[in-house]
Amino acid sequence: MIAGPFPLHLELWPFAAMPPAFLFFAGALLIALCRAESLLWLRQCLLLVTPVVGTLNLLALDPGSSWVWRVLDFELVQLRVDRLSMLFGLLFHLGTLLAGVYALKVRDSYQHVAALAYAGSALGAVFAGDLISLFFYWEGMALASVVLVWAGRSPQSTGAGFRYLVLHLVSGLLLLAGAVLSFRATGNLAFNFIGTDGVAGWLILLAFGIKCGFPFLHSWITDAYPQATPSGTVFLSMFTTKVAVYSLARGFPGTEVLVTIGTVMALFPIFYAVIENDLRRVLGYSMINQIGFMVVGVGVGTELALNGAVAHAFNEVLFKGLLFMTMGAVLYRVGHVLGSDLGGLYRSMPLTTVFCAVGAASISAFPLFNGFVSKSMIMTAMLKEGYSLAWLGLLFASAGVFHHAGIKIPYFAFFSHDGGIAAREAPRNMLIAMAVAAALCILVGSYPALLYGLLPWDAGYDPYNYPKVIAQLQLLLFSALAFAWLKLTGIYPPELRSVNLDIDWIYRRLLPNLGRAGLRAWAGAGAIAARMLPGSLTPAMRRLLGAGGALVRSAETSIAVLVVGGTFIVYLVIYYVWNL
């Protein structure tokens, strides 16, 4: 049972409160209209003012459902306000403001437009009260966020953006299919508990799983995020996966299969992150690891576990955003974030080094840092409910994240060796954003009641007692000793200029190669068939199957799109006529 009204409700907003997404869409539209170089100052103001004004609007919202649009026989609820949606709403406003300060000097207006539209779509999703509205905002996130990937303006970012977009559009189609089946089964589109009792539930769970980065569906994170711009990656780290965690907490609390899925998510990225050279890709694997903890919390399903899951989502936006900011600053000043070619930057970028250390301590769940006060809630809830084996898996994952994110990131970026790199400190706006994020990591970790008072469920919890603190310090100490021993003995994998194979090898290499082999086999079979057929049929068959024939030669992309779109339209027409 979700607790009562949000404690920060204000009556100071002089206007009628509206869905938060609308204010962000308005801000994106205004920035789009101010593309002239001379209006850069106005775009910067809009980037910062929008989340500030949006926060005032957010805190004036009344609990319940409003802004209900009646379309045909459907009720589309644009504003469903309770403590769960309000927590994520506050988080996304805060995240947008921090990322906006970080991106303040970006002169590319397209990135600012995409960032606000992306944040607005995420807000629309967490306040949507029905599955159809959720679907439209779900797809809005995909379309807006891919612009931040393409903004990298390189062949790698272009390819990664297309792969990212395809996976996220597939997620949207699965969500839509699940919504349709759910409506046909129940006559209801409300976005509440869904469960996995029917096909609709499994389709929607899979749709959420793609955006969450479930195992075998995760590679878009490590593929696309490192290809975005420094500021674009910060925005990307804050919204999509957190909306997915929110959706799981809303639709699938207590779904036991999520405990297994989340445990696997927390474990397997450790091994990839240890051997990865690109430090932003390391953070991508680390993100999957942290989301695994949240998914486990949702799967356990008790109030304590759910509070831990959403609290960890809140904290991860702060500490993972901070780590992406520090690596973005290194990328901005140095031009790359390859661990094999960095080192010694603590001399020229001392403030960035300190902020990176704060982020590393937070993600590693050091006491007095925010990761500890949320991760320990999930671990405690697991023990209370008897998930001992999964608890051991997450304990190992906790040690692993300290290795690859708590130690590896700051060590190889700033300390490992003197790379002879002459770099200046990060720009002032980046330092301000990093300083605020670091301060919040320490503030929430030192005074967890500030966060606990905002959580959706009533579940008393005290993270700071001797057994919990001593156990966590022991884990961190022995992990640090293990890293030092592995490094000194030369067993720890060195940073190599290499490409590590992940699941995306299947659709980036294997399937295209099989497709090309199939086309060659088809062309060969067509040529053989043309020679074997009677002479009267040979000319006609050759026009179809021979060298350069209509069924053999490659089609232009536009023609292929028309064929696919036409097939889809024909299907819709047949479906409509069949069901008249």
> CB neighbours (10 Å) of residue 63?
16
Is residue 259 a part of any domain in this protein?
no
Instruction: For tokens 């609390």, name the residue.
Output: 253
The b/e string for 201-217 (b: 16+ C-beta within 10 A; e otherwise) is: bbbbbbbbbbbbbbbeb
Strand residues in 39-171 grouped as ranges (E): 64-71, 74-81
> Which of 459, 478, 500 delimits the end of a domain?
500
Query: Could you tell me the two tokens for 75?
Result: 């009720």
* Phi, psi of 190, rounded to the nearest 5 degrees: -60, 140
Query: Could you tell me the two tokens for 239?
Result: 């919204």
514 shares a domain with 464: no
Beta bridge partners of 130: 190
534 shares a domain with 476: no
Query: Could you tell me the two tokens for 450?
Result: 């500030």
189 shares a domain with 51: yes
488 shares a domain with 509: no
315 shares a domain with 373: yes
430 shares a domain with 340: yes
Distances 157 to 9, 161, 215, 409 between C-alpha atoms, Å? 42, 6, 23, 23
Distance, in Å, from the CA atom of 120 to the CA atom of 513, rounded to the nearest integer, reads: 39
Q: Which one-letter amino acid corresponds to residue 239?
A: F
Distance, in Å, from the CA atom of 235 to the CA atom of 440, rounded to the nearest integer, reads: 18
570 shares a domain with 557: yes
Instruction: For tokens 């069901």, name the residue.
Output: 579
Per-residue DSSP letter, 414: I
Residues 103 and 425 sit within 8 Å (Cβ to Cβ): no
400 shares a domain with 495: yes
Distance, in Å, from the CA atom of 297 to the CA atom of 205, rounded to the nearest integer, reads: 16
The b/e string for 534-556 (b: 16+ C-beta within 10 A; e otherwise) is: eeeeeeebbeebbeebeebeeee
| Number of structural domains in the chain | 3
> Which of 500, 524, 542 delimits the end of a domain?
500
Distance, in Å, from the CA atom of 277 to the CA atom of 159, rounded to the nearest integer, reads: 20
Please write down the HEC assignment for all residues of 271-296. Answer: HHHHHCCEHHHHHHHHHHHHHHHHHH
560 shares a domain with 547: yes
Query: Could you tell me the two tokens for 529?
Result: 């068939």
Q: Which domain holds residue 555?
A: 505-578
Length of the chain measured in residues? 580
Q: Which one-letter amino acid corresponds to residue 119?
A: A
Which regions in the chain score pLDDT beneath 50?
Answer: 536, 557-559, 561, 569, 572-580
452 shares a domain with 383: yes
566 shares a domain with 482: no
Distance, in Å, from the CA atom of 118 to the CA atom of 241, rounded to the nearest integer, reads: 13
pLDDT of residue 5: 78
Dihedral, CA of residue 468, residue 469, residue 472 and residue 478, to nearest 10 = -130
Residues 187 and 267 sit within 8 Å (Cβ to Cβ): no
Distance, in Å, from the CA atom of 178 to the CA atom of 191, rounded to the nearest integer, reads: 12
> Which of 441, 467, 500 delimits the end of a domain?
500
Question: Hey, CA dihedral for 13, 16, 19, 24, is it positive or negative?
Answer: negative
196 shares a domain with 114: yes
Per-residue DSSP letter, 130: B
Is residue 237 a part of any domain in this protein?
yes
Distances 364 to 270, 360, 372, 485 between C-alpha atoms, Å? 13, 6, 8, 19
Whole-model pTM: value is 0.87
Q: Please give the angle made by the CA atoms of 506, 502 and 156, to the nearest 5 degrees.
A: 85
Is residue 84 a part of any domain in this protein?
yes
